[in-house]
């Protein structure tokens, strides 16, 4: 059985590029805190419905700024969602997924304002490739994601992150609707569910996504996030 870690490699054998914060900086410490509280708060079955929206791994720590907290989570989600897609990349092909969709009701078009100035239909693998490249370009841009507290975040930082998070949510939609069997095959469902719950609790805690965007995965959300 293939190891999930093997999917950290792209199909051409190169490593997935992951953004890291410099050790010892505020944002590196915040990143560590986010990961630690995530694991401490994972026993959700003993939490009430209300408590789930106060999931320990997403709440803003006292005396920390929202933009710093947002930055470390966007980077963390980017790193982990790439791995999630890597799990199904070998079965998400031009032939199997000629359009980027979430079932028969939802199709996503690519628009980046540069190469694609109008919404354009792409295959799922090409869409994911362009999505990850688009996010990567932004989170490695130090004028958008400053490496330390000596530099300020841009004024539109929250809006930029909202757009990134909304688009990364589409990876969950495609993976869960079209490739759930692959997650089951390599026992990756628990890892995917943990990541999805963390993502969902974070974006709802800070109202970073429109409720309508969740519609394709409403049943999943009801099953693993909102169950009493």
Q: What residues are designated binding site for Zn(2+)?
A: 92, 97, 174, 179
Whether 72 and 133 have beta carbons less than 8 Å apart is answered as no
Q: What is the DSSP letter of 6?
A: G
Q: Residue 62: exposed, middle, or buried by beta-carbon count in 10 A (0-12, 13-18, 19+)?
A: exposed
Crossing angle of helices 189-205 and 157-178, in 10° steps, is 150
Look-up of token digits 């410099």: 22
Structure tokens, 51: 């408590």
Q: What is the DSSP letter of 111?
A: -
Output the known binding site.
Answer: 92, 97, 174, 179
């Amino acid at each position: 059985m293939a190891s999930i870690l093997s999917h950290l490699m792209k199909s051409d054998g190169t490593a997935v590029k992951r953004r890291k914060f410099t050790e010892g900086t505020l944002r590196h410490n915040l990143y560590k805190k986010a990961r630690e509280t995530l694991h401490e708060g994972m026993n959700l079955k003993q939490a009430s419905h209300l408590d789930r929206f106060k999931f320990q791994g997403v709440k803003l720590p006292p005396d920390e700024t929202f933009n710093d907290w947002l930055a470390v989570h966007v980077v963390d989600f980017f790193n982990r969602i790439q791995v999630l897609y890597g799990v199904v990349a070998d079965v998400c092909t031009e032939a199997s997924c000629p359009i980027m969709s979430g079932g028969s009701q939802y199709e996503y078009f690519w628009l980046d304002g540069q190469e694609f100035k109008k919404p354009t239909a792409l295959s799922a693998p090409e869409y994911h490739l362009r999505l990850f490249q688009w996010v990567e370009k932004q989170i490695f841009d130090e004028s958008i994601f400053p490496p330390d507290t000596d530099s300020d975040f841009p004024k539109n930082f929250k809006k930029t992150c909202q757009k990134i998070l909304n688009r990364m949510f589409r990876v969950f939609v495609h993976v869960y609707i079209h490739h759930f069997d692959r997650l089951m095959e390599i026992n990756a469902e628990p890892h995917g569910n943990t990541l999805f719950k963390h993502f969902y609790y974070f974006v709802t805690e800070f109202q970073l996504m429109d409720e309508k965007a969740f519609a394709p995965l409403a049943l999943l959300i009801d099953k693993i996030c909102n169950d009493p």
